[in-house]
Structure 1
Amino acid sequence: MLIILSEGKYNQFKKSGKKPSDFCKQDLKMSNVKSYDFVHDYFSDSKNLVDAIRKYLEVSKIQRGEYTLLDLLRHKMK
């Protein structure tokens, strides 16, 4: 999901009805999207990862009392 958000394809993904990994493989042509090395290389610039995490918070319905990756980042930065 973070890759989809980073690519600016969230609306297209939502319309597709596909699972995030299938959307990445089929529509974004990222065949090894689930591999550690691919994700590590894709988010080698940590700013891109943090931006994607922030975008995820914007489009998600986080339930009260539930923590997100952004909460973890904020806690780590204290």
Structure 2
Amino acid sequence: MTNRSTRALFHSKTLNTALRAFSFPQDMEVRRQKLGRWIDALKTGKLPIAPPTDSIRAEVEPIVSRLIEIAKTNQETHRDVLHWL
């Protein structure tokens, strides 16, 4: 037969002092709104996409164009090999 301890995890004076000193942050409503948006996004499975800046767009456009060229070449090669077989 085992004896279970009935002693408190925290001393009541320490716990009461900590509870009296507790207060919610002053920007609680702002935090709630931010969290609400994230919770909605998680529920729907849709995250908002930020529009690209001009500098990001200028950097990415040549890269995307090159990726499209590579994909097109790969598809043509794949088609040619299948046609040859």
What's the TM-score, normalizing by structure 2? 0.22
Relative contact order higher in (CA < 8 Å, ≥ 6 apart):
1
Please identify the structure whose Cα radius of gyration is greater: 2
Query: Quick check: which one's helix share is greater?
Result: 2
